[in-house]
Structure 1
Amino acid sequence: MTTKEESCSKCAHIYKSFEFFKLNRNSSQKCRKLLQAGRAKVIKKEPFTIQLLFSSTGYKQHVSIGVDSGQHHIGLAVTSQDKVLFSLRQDVKKLLDTRRSYRRGRRNRNTRYRSPCFLNRTKPSGWLPPSIASKIHHNINWIQRIQAVMPKAELHIEVGKFDMAKMKQPDITGLGYQQGDKYGYETTKQYVLDRDNYTCQICHGKTKDPELKIHHIIYRSNGGTNQVSNLLTVCATCHTQANHQPGGKLYALLAKKFQSYRSLKGATFMNILRRRLFKAFPEAKFQYGAQTTLDRAKLDLPKAHYNDAVTISGIQKIAQRPTAVVMFHQFRKKKCSLHEATARKGRKIPNIMSKRNAKNKKFSKGFYLNDYVQLPDGQKGNVSGFSGKIKCFVKAGDGYYLAISSKYKHINLSILKVIRHQNNWNVTEIEVKTHQMA
């Protein structure tokens, strides 16, 4: 007896042996009847997957997986012949700014003496910063999850390759790649001062102040870098607290400079990701964004991550489209900071004594953080936190709190109904209108 796995959603059944049913309303009914008759068993709940317990025909059809890799958004799609069977978009939530602010705060406080560690200076081969490594693992892990359901599908991945020197200086050639912006200068400050002709960029030398400072256009606390394009020269007279405020001269100049500032973080990440994907999936077919743009225009699809993934899969004609897109968004269950910079909601003072009893409460009365629940009036959302032992907060897919009354956001656990446990991922199904897929 042979078995095969079938992944079932509202719109499709996907067999692991690559045998597909048509997308119709009877798909969920067929799945339910197989389970009730004991001819299949449940393997996974997210995505819902069953395994047949009886022999089947050997008919198979070609299946392709399309992957739109990226830094913040990942698009995944499964296509077969002229049908789109599955579309997914995954968002990676960024929490590193908060951690960085807490880490900087610890350096300025009077803390206990900690002897220096000298055995953690050597990095292994292929080491990447945790922020970059986490995003790369997201791309690789989600591709492997789709492959686990369809292990013999043809894999198509879009990658990006960027010439960052040409992005900063379009006419760069030959020796210019070796001689960067700061070639011939000893320090970055010396280059910025010479570039700005040793003149304040606000008053243009009218104040006659000899003291010049180097200022960040986008502060490092807001994601700015030390690139020379993010630095400018200002004098001490203009570099005041008043000019930093909205309406001040420096504030207006920074807003104008911000529009022309181009960060290269995304391009750097995509260059790193491309090499890692080559190594992780040597059997895959790779292409670049320029080709995807042309192919998407032939299919008459609007710009979207899931539409890009459908195009990348290599499908030539779309006769049957899904009516919904599944969205996965990572949810942070545990608050890892030992202290707080600002007081949490509902508290008057911040927690600076490392009290972690109520802060990391994960469950209460059979309910867990991030559970998908339903209110008595039919509203659905995710448990975002607990208030005491019998109450919690519930957020909808758009991030707003659900409430029984207009002012009271605390909801009693006794009136909630658990639809499913979601662990660390928010799963939302978004309806796609016809004009968005056509």
Structure 2
Amino acid sequence: MDKVPPNNHFEANFTLETGDNQLMFVLVVDKNRKPLNPCHPARARKFLKEGKAVVLRRYPFTIMLKNVEEDCDNQQEYRLKLDPGSRTTGISILKDNTIIWAAELNHRGYSIKQSLESRRALRRGRRNRHTRYRKPRFNNRNRADGWLAPSLQHRVDTTLTWVNRLRRFCPITAISMELVNFDTQLIQNPEISGIEYQQGELAGYEVRQYLLTKWGRQCVYCGIEGVSLQVEHIHPKSKGGSNRVSNLTLSCVKCNQRKGNKPIEQFLSRKPDLLKKVLSLGKCPLKDAAAVNSTRWTLYRALSETGLPVETGTGGRTKFNRTRQELPKTHWLDAACVGQSTPDKLQVLIDKPLIITATGHGTRKVCRTDKYGFPVRYVPRSKFVHGFQTGDIVKAIVTKGKKIGTYMGRIAVRTTGSFNIATPNGLVQGISHKYCSRVQGKDGYQYTFSRKSCRTAVYVRGRIPPHT
């Protein structure tokens, strides 16, 4: 259960986070923590000043009414809409034809993949050293049905986490999600058809012979001919590049060694025309499309298990709904336009959505290692110092010393009890734990509001729907 902090921790920053300029509705629960109808920020501010409510969570901003229980007769219907993506998932909550809450969830799938590859490289290095003998294990590699790679499963888990979290704070009655299937062959070649579509671009070729024909039997970087050519990755494999033929090219030994594992953009930074040619011939990476294809049905089945009706929509329907209403291309507006349930006229009252970035809960390493895998620094066993842990959002009121003032932000704890606080105005170091009070505990996510305004959207600041 979430602890309810004192109300005075939030009064100074309430207007900044949920002010009338963006009309992000405030989520409301009763004293038994049952979700009620979200309310207008002005009404929430009035409840807080009169002492009728306390702040339950800062992100998403949720208040709890002290003396009001759930009124089933007054419950209204709210629809949660999702636009699942490889890197970012758009989230919107609609009441009839009005968007009352919106967010963009940034996943950390690629950082998970890089961490796993780093761990694999370190373990491979240790196996080649003269260490103690460990018997090989071959019976623990079975994968259950429906298994997904950790970087893909993370996208499903984080999306489902926020669906369940929003259901605890808002009476959601239905869910809509975009269920899109990307055709990777059509992405690379929109005009592909017939036998070429069925057999693929390598039909009748070996990989090397195909690359020689595709790149003109010369080094793609310096253009030299008549020398030994090596197969080279456009996007380095150590940086997440794949072995797909669209990511392979040919280069001479000298250019291949000079490029090493540099990104193609860095290696050809002084040759923009050549960079454009290589990227256009190599085609765009397909990892994002493959990630969405792999997780779409898993996410759909997970949402179906919530017991709510789940509506699906195609990418074409989403684009049609968005362009018809002349809305800009953003993840949260795409989410609001998913499916046939999208109204003919959307009331967009939100200016800047909540940006949610998955950061994880740290690591289980007992020590930090250098790039060669050798331990360089000890990690404390306990993550808590004087009741705080790194990632908590705190409010520090410093009453004496050189840093007198009030600071609010995320902390990095130290065993000495002197913390660092990351505030919107910069990093403040050396704040004693005695001045700190927790606003919201660490939950594995970082929260900000988008700096980009969506003023180009069609804003209808008309009548606000009924609320509690």
Deviation at 1:219, TM superposition (A): 0.3
What secondary structure sits across from 2:284 in the alignment? Answer: coil
Deviation at 1:153, TM superposition (A): 1.4
1:368 aligned partner, one-letter code: Q
Question: 2:395 maps to which residue?
Answer: 374
Selected match of 1:386 from 382, 396, 413: 413
Given the superposition, is the C-alpha separation of residues 264 and 337 from structure 1 closer, same or farther in structure 2, using an over 3 Å criterion?
farther
Given the superposition, is the C-alpha separation of residues 151 and 18 from structure 1 closer, same or farther in structure 2, using an over 3 Å criterion?
closer
Question: 1:277 maps to which residue?
Answer: 299
Given the superposition, is the C-alpha separation of residues 131 and 73 from structure 1 closer, same or farther in structure 2, using an over 3 Å criterion?
same
Deviation at 1:264, TM superposition (A): 0.7
Deviation at 1:251, TM superposition (A): 8.1
Selected match of 1:153 from 163, 170, 173: 173
Question: 2:121 maps to which residue?
Answer: 104
| Aligned-partner Cα distance in 2 for 1:258–1:275 | 34
Does 2:208 align with 1:182? no
| Aligned-partner Cα distance in 2 for 1:105–1:170 | 42
| Aligned-partner Cα distance in 2 for 1:387–1:19 | 40
Given the superposition, is the C-alpha separation of residues 337 and 199 from structure 1 closer, same or farther in structure 2, using an over 3 Å criterion?
farther
- Which aligned pairs between 1:159-308 and structure 2 lie closer than 5 A? 159-186=179-206, 188-206=207-225, 208-209=226-227, 211-241=228-258, 252=271, 255-256=275-276, 259-260=279-280, 261-282=283-304, 283-308=309-334
Question: 2:5 maps to which residue?
Answer: none
| Aligned-partner Cα distance in 2 for 1:65–1:125 | 29
Given the superposition, is the C-alpha separation of residues 381 and 357 from structure 1 closer, same or farther in structure 2, using an over 3 Å criterion?
same
Deviation at 1:86, TM superposition (A): 1.6
Does 2:98 align with 1:80? no
| Aligned-partner Cα distance in 1 for 2:269–2:323 | 44
**Which structure 1 residue ranges, 5 or more long, are not aligned?**
1-7, 344-349, 404-408
Does 2:33 align with 1:12? no
What secondary structure sits across from 2:208 in the alignment? Answer: helix
Output one character per residue of 1:320-370: Cα deviation in whole Å (capped at 9) or x when no partner.
Answer: 724653332223342345665548xxxxxx982376433x65221232211
Given the superposition, is the C-alpha separation of residues 19 and 431 from structure 1 closer, same or farther in structure 2, using an over 3 Å criterion?
farther
| Aligned-partner Cα distance in 1 for 2:161–2:78 | 20
1:284 aligned partner, one-letter code: V
Given the superposition, is the C-alpha separation of residues 379 and 433 from structure 1 closer, same or farther in structure 2, using an over 3 Å criterion?
farther
Contact 1:156–1:314 (CA<8 Å) still a contact in 2?
A: no
Mean CA deviation greater in 320-329 or 232-241? 320-329
Contact 1:79–1:315 (CA<8 Å) still a contact in 2?
A: no
| Aligned-partner Cα distance in 1 for 2:299–2:440 | 33
Question: 2:336 maps to which residue?
Answer: 310
2:293 aligned partner, one-letter code: N
1:393 aligned partner, one-letter code: N
| Aligned-partner Cα distance in 1 for 2:159–2:149 | 16
Contact 2:82–2:92 (CA<8 Å) still a contact in 1?
A: yes
2:386 aligned partner, one-letter code: K
Given the superposition, is the C-alpha separation of residues 324 and 181 from structure 1 closer, same or farther in structure 2, using an over 3 Å criterion?
closer
**Which structure 2 residue ranges, 5 or more long, are not aligned?**
1-13, 19-24, 399-404, 460-468
TM value normalised by structure 2: 0.74
Contact 2:181–2:293 (CA<8 Å) still a contact in 1?
A: yes
| Aligned-partner Cα distance in 1 for 2:232–2:190 | 26
Given the superposition, is the C-alpha separation of residues 322 and 262 from structure 1 closer, same or farther in structure 2, using an over 3 Å criterion?
closer
> How many aligned residue pairs are there?
409
Deviation at 1:162, TM superposition (A): 1.0
2:230 aligned partner, one-letter code: K
Contact 1:86–1:322 (CA<8 Å) still a contact in 2?
A: yes
Mean CA deviation greater in 245-254 or 121-130? 245-254
Question: 2:402 maps to which residue?
Answer: none
Contact 1:244–1:250 (CA<8 Å) still a contact in 2?
A: no
Deviation at 1:240, TM superposition (A): 3.4
| Aligned-partner Cα distance in 1 for 2:452–2:106 | 18
Deviation at 1:216, TM superposition (A): 0.8
Question: 1:136 maps to which residue?
Answer: 156
Contact 1:212–1:235 (CA<8 Å) still a contact in 2?
A: yes
Mean CA deviation greater in 228-237 or 90-99? 90-99
Question: 2:73 maps to which residue?
Answer: 58
Contact 2:230–2:252 (CA<8 Å) still a contact in 1?
A: yes
Given the superposition, is the C-alpha separation of residues 303 and 113 from structure 1 closer, same or farther in structure 2, using an over 3 Å criterion?
same
What secondary structure sits across from 2:322 in the alignment? Answer: helix
Output one character per residue of 1:174-232: Cα deviation in whole Å (capped at 9) or x when no partner.
Answer: 3223312222235x3343234334433234444x43x2211111101212111112111
Question: 2:358 maps to which residue?
Answer: 330
| Aligned-partner Cα distance in 1 for 2:144–2:296 | 20
Percentage of pairs with the same residue = 22
Deviation at 1:163, TM superposition (A): 0.9
Output one character per residue of 1:370-394: Cα deviation in whole Å (capped at 9) or x when no partner.
Answer: 11123554443211x3344222333
